[in-house]
Structures are given as structure tokens and as C-alpha cells.
């Protein structure tokens, strides 16, 4: 290869990385979703090789009596992992900016769980993310305009700014600086998504979804030795206590099961509810969530999937005559929710106490909320208005939990988006959360104004994901974003495309809950 060709290749690679407008170029997926080609055969051979290597690696670590079974389980888990990567490579609409955004957010989430006691690892990634988004979003002030029109911006950014002001008012300068840093990073991320969407006219959520698929694949590959076992690798701290029955990943690369459940639900919604994908791809997305959810044993994940499935059935019913095909389309997700629930343990799964001791340090959401309320009522006026200022991330350390020798009490999230907005942003944070939620739901149901009049209806997947997320508010902080805020960045990408993407120019709208007719 000539020196000039090398320079051209390096220049093209740098443009793909640093210019979000490169997403505008129309590119076919690496693996054609419609036709079997030689590269599919090549990818299959590589995948089989990786799966065999994982199986052999696991087999040689066990006795002759158990090596065959352990090796086979590892082979199947690794095969599932490489299948997920292959699936991602067949998706039309994946862009480099979208994939990078999704990969950065989900990787930050994984590292924050895998290296809980080594935060510098996460901060290195966050600073690299910030540097990339600084390049994407220049000129910054001009591109910042219009961000307030997104409900997701209010949900995931307002409390950082309010919390910064609150920390300054009670003179906690270290907390204020840390919160301002977080606010800057996540504001840059939001602006980066808007800028990339506006410049390219493309929907970044497809690339984000592909990144989620690859993240799940990596966790299954690293955790192939325990993915299909009865007991799993867990963190060596309070978060791992009594959690061996849930799949986390593998040694050195762990992710909370609830967060993993969220990823596969988002994958199922984005691909399964979009008729532009091939039929087999939509079924495959449902297959992924059916395999993973029982392994991670997440009630919040099943609840979210169930809400989306019920909404989807309602949309199908509103569209007109219920033919056999439509009935199947409506019923299949609901049936899978039942199958997943039964595979997860049925009634016991839905009602069981996760921990033997009601005062266990990582259990008892209501006790956590009660402590948040006690501290809120004891705070001064500034913190009541702008949020608790003791810690930058406003986590909760339960004082009534059982103290286990040698294990520190964990830094708990509120596991409730509304309570979390109060903890992080005070009374004004709650108002900002409610405003952002209302704006997001308005866009999810009614769409966005078109240039030249009328409204553009939102795509079905976005409506389902946004409305379905309401059921997660009582048990998860997912809508608030933050480090590893996968639901937040996913919804933000969908909302940004609805408001500023190419399809807002008056092109034909997708049929949705808001436009379907009885």
C-alpha cells in the first residue's frame, strides 16, 4: 500500500471517529440480513472457533467427570455471544457515532460495577468520552441551543445543575466541582447526540442498540464458564452477597443483572417493534430477551417487558381488523413474558424476598426511601430546594442496615426515579423531573411539529419504550441517566431523531399509538 493510500485511510478513519456528520453516508451492514454470502461463512467459522476455544478452556479446568458438561455449557454460552455480535452486524442503519455513543455509555456502566473500588478506571473512560464529545459539539454554545426542548434533557441533566448550585450554597466546594464535572460530561453527551442526529439526519438509536448487543455478547463470552451454571461469579463486596443465582458476567467484567435486563429489553423493543427490520431479526431480538432475562432474574426487567408487550398488543388492536397474523403479532410478546416469568421461577420469582434478613444492606428499598425522606426533612432550605449536598452522586448509606464484619456498607442508589430526583435535585429537581417526563411522554404519543405544519408521529418503538418506562420509576433510577445511563441515552437518541432528524422534514410518518385508528 502506498504512503498516500495509508494517509487517506488514516484520514477516513479519523473522520469517522471525530466527525458525527459521517453517519449521513448510506452503508450496507457488514453481514447482509437477506442473503447468505461468503462473508457469512467466514464469520460463522470464526464464531465456531471462538466458541470451541471457550469450551476447551473451561473443560481443562475441571475434573474428567465434569469437564465435558462444563465445556459444553461454556461452548453454548460463547456461541450465544458470538451470535449476538453477528446479529449486530446484520442491522441496517448502524452508524459509527451511534455505536460509539452506545458503547461509551454501556462500557462506563460495566466498569462502574466491575471496578467499584477503583473509580479511576471509570473516570479515564468518562474523560475520554468528554474529549470526543467536545470535538463533536464545537461550537459549543451554538449547539447547546434547543436542548431544553427534549424531555430527556430535563430528566438527566437538570438535577446535576441544581445539585451543583445547592452544594455551593452550603459551601461544599468539592461536591460542587464534582457535580459540575458530571453535568458537563452528560450535557456534552446530550448535545453530541443532537448534533450527530442533525448533521447526519440518521437515527442513532440503531447504533446504540448494536453496541448494547455487543456488550451483552462480551459479558457472555467472558462469563461463558458460569453463564449456564447454577451459581455465578459475583462482585467481592456487599453487592455480591446472596446474588450468586443471578448472571453478572465473568471475572473482571461484571454488570448488575438489572442493568443487563434493561439492555435486552431495549434491544427487543428497538428491533422487535420496527417493521423496517427483517422478520427474522425481529424474532431474534425477542429470542435474545427470552434467553437472558431468566438468567439475570430481574423483576424490574420483566415488568418493563410486560408493560411494553401490553402496550404493543393495544396498538395492534387499535389498528383495525384482528386477522390471524395480527393476533399472533399481538400475542407473541405477551406469551414470551409468561414464559420468561415461569422460567425465572414463576410465583416465587415475583414474590420472593431477595434476602434472608429484612435489614440486609442491599435490600429494603422502602427503608432507603425512608432514610432519604428523614435526611430531606432535616436538611436546610438550600438542600431542600436543590438536593442533598453530602456526596457528589447523592448516594445513600443506610444507617439501619446490618453491618457485616469486613464489608463496608454500600453506596446505594434510591432505586426510584422520583425519589432519586428529590435526593439529587431537591424540590426543584422533582419539578424538573416531572416536566421532563411530561415532555418526553408528549413527544412519545403526539410526536413533534413538522416544518411547514402538522406533526410528525413518533416511531412505534419510541412510544413503547417511553410509555413502558413509567413502570420502572418505582423500582429503578434508569430515567435519571448518569454513569452508564443506557435507558436515558437510548430515549434521548429517539427523541432527538424525532425532533431534528431527517424524517422531520415531512416524510411519511410511522403508525403509532397516537395515529392508529379503531
Verify cis geometry, omega within 30 degrees of 0, for the bond prior to 139: yes
Q: Are residues 153 and 130 in the same domain?
A: yes
Q: Are 33 and 92 in contact (CB under 8 A)?
A: yes
Last residue of a domain, one of 69, 88, 107: 88
Q: How many other CB atoms sit within 10 Å of the CB of residue 123?
A: 15
Q: End-to-end CA distance of the chain: give it in Å, rounded.
A: 62
Q: Are 317 and 348 in contact (CB under 8 A)?
A: no
Q: Are 87 and 281 in contact (CB under 8 A)?
A: yes
Cα 28 from chain centroid (whole Å): 25
Only one residue has cell 430477551, namely 289
Last residue of a domain, one of 27, 62, 88: 88
Q: Are residues 388 and 267 in the same domain?
A: yes
User: Which residues, 6 or more positions from 407, have their beta carbon under 8 angstroms from its beta carbon?
Assistant: 237, 238, 241, 361
Beta-strand pair 253-254/448-449: unpaired
Q: Are residues 43 and 136 in the same domain?
A: no
Q: Are residues 268 and 195 in the same domain?
A: yes
Distance CA(259)–CA(241), nearest Å, equals 17
pLDDT at site 23:
64
Q: Are residues 214 and 305 in the same domain?
A: yes
Q: Are 213 and 84 in contact (CB under 8 A)?
A: yes
Distance CA(445)–CA(9), nearest Å, equals 44
Alpha-carbon Rg for the chain in angstroms: 23
Q: Rounded to 5 degrees, what are φ and ψ at 441?
A: -65, -35
Q: Are residues 67 and 94 in the same domain?
A: no
Would you report the helix, strand and coil content of the chain in percent, each value rounded to 5?
65, 0, 30
Question: Do the domain assignments include residue 32?
Answer: no
pLDDT mean for each 10 residues of the chain (518 residues): 56 77 74 94 96 94 85 96 98 95 97 90 95 95 93 98 97 96 97 95 96 98 94 84 90 94 98 96 98 96 98 90 86 97 90 59 74 95 96 87 69 93 98 98 94 87 98 96 96 97 50 43
C-alpha cell at 69: 458438561
Question: Do the domain assignments include residue 43?
Answer: yes
Helices (H), 115-172: 119-136, 140-144, 151-169
Q: Is 412 helix (H, G, I), strand (E, B) or coil?
A: strand
Q: Are residues 483 and 433 in the same domain?
A: yes
Question: Do the domain assignments include residue 74?
Answer: yes
Q: Are 91 and 281 in contact (CB under 8 A)?
A: yes
**Angle at CA 248, nearest 5°, toward 243 and 252?**
115
Q: Rounded to 5 degrees, what are φ and ψ at 404?
A: -95, 125
C-alpha cell at 364: 429494603
Q: Are residues 72 and 110 in the same domain?
A: no
Q: Look at the chain and report how many structural domains it folds into.
A: 2
Distance CA(497)–CA(504), nearest Å, equals 8
Question: Do the domain assignments include residue 30?
Answer: no
pLDDT at site 363:
53
pLDDT at site 514:
41
Q: Are residues 81 and 97 in the same domain?
A: no
- Print the domain residue range for 42: 38-88
Distance CA(239)–CA(409), nearest Å, equals 10
Question: Do the domain assignments include residue 23?
Answer: no
Q: Are residues 248 and 281 in the same domain?
A: yes
How many CA atoms lie within 13 Å of 114's alpha carbon, on the beta-carbon side? 20
pLDDT at site 26:
63
Question: Do the domain assignments include residue 511?
Answer: no
Dihedral of the CA atoms 361, 365, 366, 372 (nearest 10)?
80
Q: Is 507 left (phi over 0), alpha (psi -120 to 50) or beta?
A: beta
Instruction: Calculate helix-pair angle for 119-136, 173-200, nearest 10 degrees.
Output: 40
Q: Are residues 55 and 95 in the same domain?
A: no
Q: Which of 201, 146, 213, 289 is nearest to 24 (CA)?
A: 201
Distance CA(81)–CA(47), nearest Å, equals 9
Q: Rounded to 5 degrees, what are φ and ψ at 250?
A: -135, 175
Q: Are residues 100 and 64 in the same domain?
A: no
Last residue of a domain, one of 62, 88, 114: 88
Question: Do the domain assignments include residue 20?
Answer: no
Q: Which of 318, 260, 296 is nearest to 106 (CA)?
A: 260
| pTM of the shown model | 0.93
Q: Are 168 and 69 in contact (CB under 8 A)?
A: no
Question: Do the domain assignments include residue 358?
Answer: yes
C-alpha cell at 247: 448472571
Q: Are 464 and 86 in contact (CB under 8 A)?
A: no
Q: Which of 304, 313, 335 is nearest to 467 (CA)?
A: 304
Amino acid at each position: 500500500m502506498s504512503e498516500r493510500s495509508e494517509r487517506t485511510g488514516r484520514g477516513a478513519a479519523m473522520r469517522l471517529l471525530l466527525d458525527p456528520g459521517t453517519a449521513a453516508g448510506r452503508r450496507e451492514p457488514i453481514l447482509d440480513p437477506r442473503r447468505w454470502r461468503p462473508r457469512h461463512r467466514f464469520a460463522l467459522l470464526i464464531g465456531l472457533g471462538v466458541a470451541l476455544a471457550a469450551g476447551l478452556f473451561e473443560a481443562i479446568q475441571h475434573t474428567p467427570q465434569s469437564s465435558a458438561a462444563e465445556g459444553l455449557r461454556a461452548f453454548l454460552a460463547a456461541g450465544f455471544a458470538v451470535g449476538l455480535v453477528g446479529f449486530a452486524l446484520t442491522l441496517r442503519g448502524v452508524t459509527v457515532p451511534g455505536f460509539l455513543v452506545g458503547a461509551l455509555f454501556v462500557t462506563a456502566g460495566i466498569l462502574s460495577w466491575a471496578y467499584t473500588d477503583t473509580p479511576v478506571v471509570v473516570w479515564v473512560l468518562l474523560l475520554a468520552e468528554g474529549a470526543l464529545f467536545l470535538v463533536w459539539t464545537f461550537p459549543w454554545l451554538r449547539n447547546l441551543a434547543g436542548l431544553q426542548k427534549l424531555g430527556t434533557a430535563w430528566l438527566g441533566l437538570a438535577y446535576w445543575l441544581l445539585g451543583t448550585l445547592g452544594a455551593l450554597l452550603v459551601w461544599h466546594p468539592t461536591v460542587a466541582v464534582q457535580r459540575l464535572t458530571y453535568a458537563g460530561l452528560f450535557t456534552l453527551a446530550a448535545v453530541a447526540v443532537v448534533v450527530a442526529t442533525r448533521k447526519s439526519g440518521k437515527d442513532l438509536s440503531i447504533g446504540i442498540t448494536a453496541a448494547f448487543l455487543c456488550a451483552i455478547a462480551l459479558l457472555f463470552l467472558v462469563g461463558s464458564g458460569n453463564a449456564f451454571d447454577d451459581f455465578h461469579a459475583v462482585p467481592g463486596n456487599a453487592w455480591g452477597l446472596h446474588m450468586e443465582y443471578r448472571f453478572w458476567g465473568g471475572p473482571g467484567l461484571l454488570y448488575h443483572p438489572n442493568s443487563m435486563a434493561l439492555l435486552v429489553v431495549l434491544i427487543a423493543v428497538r428491533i422487535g417493534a420496527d417493521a423496517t427490520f427483517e422478520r427474522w431479526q425481529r424474532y431474534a431480538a425477542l429470542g435474545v430477551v427470552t434467553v437472558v432475562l431468566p438468567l439475570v432474574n430481574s423483576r424490574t426487567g420483566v415488568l418493563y417487558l410486560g408493560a411494553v408487550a401490553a402496550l404493543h398488543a393495544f396498538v395492534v388492536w387499535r389498528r383495525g381488523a384482528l386477522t390471524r397474523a395480527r393476533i399472533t403479532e399481538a400475542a407473541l410478546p405477551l406469551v414470551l413474558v409468561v414464559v420468561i416469568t415461569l422460567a425465572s421461577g414463576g410465583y416465587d420469582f415475583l414474590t420472593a424476598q431477595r434476602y434472608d434478613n429484612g435489614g440486609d444492606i442491599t435490600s429494603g428499598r422502602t427503608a432507603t426511601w425512608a432514610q432519604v425522606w428523614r435526611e430531606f426533612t432535616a436538611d436546610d432550605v438550600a438542600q431542600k430546594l436543590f438536593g442533598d449536598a453530602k456526596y457528589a452522586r447523592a448516594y445513600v448509606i443506610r444507617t439501619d442496615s446490618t453491618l457485616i464484619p469486613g464489608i463496608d456498607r454500600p453506596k446505594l442508589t434510591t432505586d426510584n426515579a422520583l425519589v432519586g430526583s428529590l435526593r439529587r435535585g431537591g424540590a426543584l429537581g422533582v419539578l424538573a423531573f416531572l416536566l421532563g417526563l411530561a415532555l418526553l411522554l408528549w413527544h412519545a404519543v403526539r410526536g413533534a411539529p413538522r416544518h411547514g405544519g402538522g406533526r410528525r408521529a413518533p416511531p412505534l418503538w419510541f412510544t413503547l419504550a417511553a410509555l413502558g418506562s413509567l413502570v420502572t420509576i418505582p423500582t429503578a433510577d434508569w430515567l435519571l441517566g448518569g454513569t452508564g445511563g443506557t435507558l436515558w441515552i437510548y430515549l434521548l437518541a429517539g427523541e432527538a431523531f424525532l425532533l431534528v432528524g431527517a424524517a422531520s422534514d415531512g416524510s411519511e410518518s410511522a403508525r403509532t399509538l397516537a395515529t392508529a385508528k379503531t
